[in-house]
Structure 1
């Protein structure tokens, strides 16, 4: 059987035990104790529309997203039984990025473009430094070093660098434009709608290229060249990878593939609405505490958007730690958890250009001209992550290094007010209107 026929046969569950809808429903219901928190979803939505406090709305929305995040992981693992580990990982990565993607789309439609740009950088930096750093730290605590997939790591380095360079080029272009050519009226020759139009065209072209590259990279990873390579492990695969692949082949699903797809669609819909209410409830923090917009976008919003997934990870880490100390300890895994780096790559090469194209379609002037400080932070994060994972090996000390750099970024961003020129170029109104005294872009 050819690779494509084998894939579709596997997706339809022909080589798996048949699971009925009733059994699938019960499996979903008992998949996690966190599902009980779905009872809070109506209260979270009611809190948004009712005159409740912002803190109550935030708490209820936060708790309501927890079971959604857990179902994403569980549903992705179940779907991997039908479509393979690689495609299953892609689905889980996309679902895990859904909260941040929803946040980006919300900010786009509200025309908060400068905050959107900061949040995009903040999400990528969070997934490059804090999350993998924590994973390397905890995963390598009981083992000398852990392994990464060597071929995928090499490709990830290139993809990550391309995504970062897509922001470096517009920043360098803007810095290279001469600013010493005053007009007769004394007006700026740089901060104009014509110049912003050039950056819009540049951003639209870059977005199309990035989307094309990301799609091609997924085909390369999930259907490598060669006969039936999509179903074979690499020749240098570790024993742990072989064990995981074998377990995936032998494990029986708990629900049928169509129930799994329906589950993920419904969960994404519930999560999207709840995430929007969560973001709206957190805005009062910036208004009341006078937090700078840069720190709010770079640090606070990404952390809040990931907090539900992080809370789920903490709960299960604590549970596994208790099992380790009070029961028979499990041997440490030799494979490092680096899914967060894939999250960053997808956000840079898919969701960021997708939002740019969406802004193009909805007449929102979103460009890839980002603040120079944000671009610098992103370049530094990319360089550090690529250096740490260059040998396809990690350890707990390198995890500490990644987390430490994230803390350094958070400290430096606390008092950063942003580039005034970029704020004006990211205004939803015309550049001329944004330059007028009293405009939000000049305050």
Structure 2
């Protein structure tokens, strides 16, 4: 009962300064200079609605720019609201809230793609978001944060658990893919524009149904694992361990928890919750307009950007770019202060590895969530991923686990992570995707209908089926 009493007292702000509603709204409005961009939200919405009308459409590039700018202050409000709620929730639940809020744009994007039945693009985007948070974001943080110190320290307790969570998330994708690859493929030949399934054991409704059952079962298991991991971190085994410092905790984390206990809030908890709900609603709608406005890149008749690269690299970077803009602004501010001789804070010896936590949550919670949501709304979302995409996830997971194994990082390791992400982007530029997976992920009644629709639509970009070539054993001859 002691732990519950402490939690509720903290959530109610007992012992903290009481903040009224007027003061709360005023502090939220003036919490950051980025809020000046809030005026772009109604402009972006008007631009979107005018664009979808038949008369006087706004240029897609302009709508995309307006939606992009509109998301920047919303990201800032997410960060500020999450930090304020950390004062009321404590470091463990506070970090969970901040991580969830930071995944809000990507999660909204995933749900939008699911409802539009863009399942192949959804899978590529999921992989892109995970490797972005595994490689580029922490790699950049380690590179810039460790530039003036010998090494930075990660929380050893969380790092050890993160290795296991990352691996089980990737292995959950490996098993359906191995199941699919190990099937007796037989042969499927397309002759004279007509699909022939004689002897085929691969592109069938039975195989798709089996993989969907496996995926939905795995989704439940992954959700249980993620919930159990959060319970373990927020309430370690033992008497009142949740109220004690975790073992092997770096001094920097102890100082951070001490600051949370001493700092005064700028908004009351109920007002903060309502603010975050409003920001989530605005973010979801604006993110949808952003995705729709960027279609001009995907539908470029010159075909310079393949759909695989669009999902793996472009969409994840766009969804995270608002945070990137904020980070760049503060980085430039620090550089200017350094050259002007102003006071520059000594870099923290504690490396921020929150981006890796973002990948863990996206793999163990949001990915299973969209699988189960697809089940509910009758969309065949599954955990059978493209072979190339799976190899990217395995390689990224291996590198991150290796870099963080000693719970210490430096700028060279950050450079290695960023470099590997660039390698992935270069190789993905030339990749066209796995054709038979595209047929499984179409919202058609049967696989035969999906293949027939693909031939009629001239799905040449997805693989050989669009060119009337032979698909033997489920592979494609490009």
Q: Is the 8 A contact 2:157 2:249 kept in 1?
A: no
Q: What's the offset of the Cα at 1:312? A: 1.1
User: What TM-score does the superposition give when structure 2 sets the normalisation length?
Assistant: 0.90
In structure 1, the partner of 2:169 is 163
For residues 153-207 of structure 1, give each alpha carbon's deviation from its aligned partner in whole angstroms, at most 9, with x where no partner exists. Answer: 0100000000000101111111111123789962522101111000000000000
In structure 2, the partner of 1:419 is 434
Question: How many angstroms apart in 1 are the aligned matches of 2:97 and 2:335?
Answer: 28
One of 207, 212, 218 as aligned partner of 2:219: 207
What are the residue-to-residue correspondences of 1:395-434 with 2, within 5 Å? Answer: 395-429=410-444, 430-434=446-450
Matching of residue 94 in structure 1 with residue 94 in structure 2? no
Question: How many angstroms apart in 2 are the aligned matches of 1:39 and 1:230?
Answer: 43
Select the structure with the greater relative contact order (CA < 8 A; seq sep ≥ 6): 1
What are the residue-to-residue correspondences of 1:213-228 with 2, within 5 Å? Answer: 213-228=225-240
Question: How many angstroms apart in 2 are the aligned matches of 1:106 and 1:435?
Answer: 24
Question: How many angstroms apart in 2 are the aligned matches of 1:122 and 1:360?
Answer: 23
Matching of residue 122 in structure 1 with residue 128 in structure 2? yes
In structure 2, the partner of 1:38 is 38
Question: How many angstroms apart in 2 are the aligned matches of 1:235 and 1:193?
Answer: 51
In structure 2, the partner of 1:346 is 361
In structure 1, the partner of 2:471 is none
Question: How many angstroms apart in 2 are the aligned matches of 1:29 and 1:106?
Answer: 29
Question: How many angstroms apart in 2 are the aligned matches of 1:421 and 1:260?
Answer: 47
Relative to structure 1, the CA distance from residue 185 to residue 9 in structure 2 (aligned partners, 3 Å threshold; closer, same or farther) is closer
Q: What's the offset of the Cα at 1:234? A: 2.1
Q: Secondary structure at the match of 1:144?
A: coil
In structure 1, the partner of 2:83 is 77
Q: Is the 8 A contact 1:3 1:227 kept in 2?
A: no
In structure 2, the partner of 1:57 is 63
Question: How many angstroms apart in 2 are the aligned matches of 1:152 and 1:381?
Answer: 18
Q: Is the 8 A contact 2:157 2:247 kept in 1?
A: no
One of 273, 276, 292 as aligned partner of 1:280: 292
Q: Secondary structure at the match of 2:373?
A: helix
Question: How many angstroms apart in 1 are the aligned matches of 2:217 and 2:210?
Answer: 11
Structure 1 segments of 4+ aligned residues over 6 angstroms from their partners: 181-185
One of 318, 325, 329 as aligned partner of 1:315: 329
Question: How many angstroms apart in 2 are the aligned matches of 1:341 and 1:19?
Answer: 34
Q: Is the 8 A contact 2:108 2:287 kept in 1?
A: yes
Question: How many angstroms apart in 2 are the aligned matches of 1:185 and 1:369?
Answer: 21
Q: Is the 8 A contact 2:187 2:199 kept in 1?
A: no
Q: Secondary structure at the match of 1:224?
A: coil
Q: What's the offset of the Cα at 1:49? A: 1.0
Q: Is the 8 A contact 1:164 1:379 kept in 2?
A: yes
User: What TM-score does the superposition give when structure 1 sets the normalisation length?
Assistant: 0.97
In structure 1, the partner of 2:157 is 151
Relative to structure 1, the CA distance from residue 185 to residue 33 in structure 2 (aligned partners, 3 Å threshold; closer, same or farther) is closer
Q: Secondary structure at the match of 2:80?
A: helix
Q: Is the 8 A contact 1:3 1:230 kept in 2?
A: yes
In structure 1, the partner of 2:146 is 140
Relative to structure 1, the CA distance from residue 65 to residue 235 in structure 2 (aligned partners, 3 Å threshold; closer, same or farther) is same
In structure 2, the partner of 1:370 is 385
Q: Secondary structure at the match of 1:142?
A: coil
In structure 2, the partner of 1:230 is 242
